[in-house]
Amino acid sequence: MDLPRLEPLVVPPEGLGAEAHWVVVHKGHVVLGFEGDALPFGAEPPLGATLSRHFLGTIGGHGVWAVDIEDHHEHHDVPDVADGFELVNLRAVYGRVPEAQWYSAGRAEQIVQWSRTHQFCGRCGSQTKAHPTDRARSCTTCGLLAYPRLSPAVIMLVERDDGRALLAQGRQFPGRFFSTLAGFVEPGENLEDAVHREILEETNIAVTDVSYFGSQPWPFPNSLMLGFKANYESGDIVIQEDEIVEASWFAPDDLPPCPRGGMSIAGSLIDDWLTRSGQ
């Protein structure tokens, strides 16, 4: 049996019932209910006053709504939530709720923050309003449309003929934690060129045989991660010190602390390599 998944929509379909899944977001947190293992479900969200609501789509025939908490909550680190509900960091939501709800929570966080930061036109400064049929905000004066921002980033695992893989400790990671290389795609650049450039910039390694692995929405804050595998061609490791603390070639049976499976495509890339290595 297929598991329920989010069916993305902008406009609620006719005949949709009143009960819905509610994704209440606040500064990278979402409200969970039902003993912390599901999004709140019912005719109204668990918090009363809200700044805005955004229809995300449906799960199992029920509507899914993103809810932005009213501005007066912004003066507090954590808003009050009703008994039986919990405010949870978005990263920690993974694994606690069904996968469709996890992706709904990430989608809600991005759309709410986009709506908050596009209340005025970037061209003429006039107020904007929600577009009736598109996921966009329209300027009430000049008509400029602003769509949610999406930042494509490539993430890649480089393998060597001796079975080792290239992992690096980025400066953004606390403690000694390694992962695959990654970076944002530049304007006018295709994905394969971005893979070559990022690996060369960060480690001085040239690669060949770049192949697509998979993709993952990554709502921290608004990325689309595009995964690739590549093979070592030439070069010795020279790290880009403002981005990388340490980089090295690691054997499958001698890994440093690194992502494994879970919510990140980096973990999926590493698990795929280990499986092919017989680990």
List domains and CATH numbers for the chain: 6-116 (3.90.79), 118-148 (no CATH), 151-276 (3.90.79.10)
Q: Encode pLDDT of 102-154 as tens digits.
A: 999 999 999 999 999 999 999 999 999 999 999 999 999 999 999 999 999 99
Rounded CA separation 112/67 (Å): 7
Provide, for the chain, the percentages of residues in helix, strand and coil under a 3-state DSSP scheme, each rounded to the nearest 5.
20, 35, 45
Confirm if 126 and 139 have CB atoms less than 8 A apart.
Answer: yes
Rounded CA separation 134/184 (Å): 26
- pLDDT at position 9 is 94
Confirm if 152 and 224 have CB atoms less than 8 A apart.
Answer: yes
Confirm if 90 and 28 have CB atoms less than 8 A apart.
Answer: yes
pTM, two decimal places: 0.88
Of 238, 38, 264, which Cα lies nearest the Cα of 153? 264
Q: Encode pLDDT of 64-114 as tens digits.
A: 999 988 654 444 555 566 677 888 999 999 989 988 999 999 999 999 999
Write the single-letter amino acid at 194: A
Q: Return the bridge partners of 26, or none.
A: 29
As a whole-number percent, the residues of the chain with pLDDT over 90 amount to: 75
String of b and e for 40-57 (b: at least 16 CB within 10 Å)? bbeeebbbeebeeebbbb
Confirm if 204 and 238 have CB atoms less than 8 A apart.
Answer: yes
pLDDT band at 26 (very low <50, low <70, confident <90, very high): confident
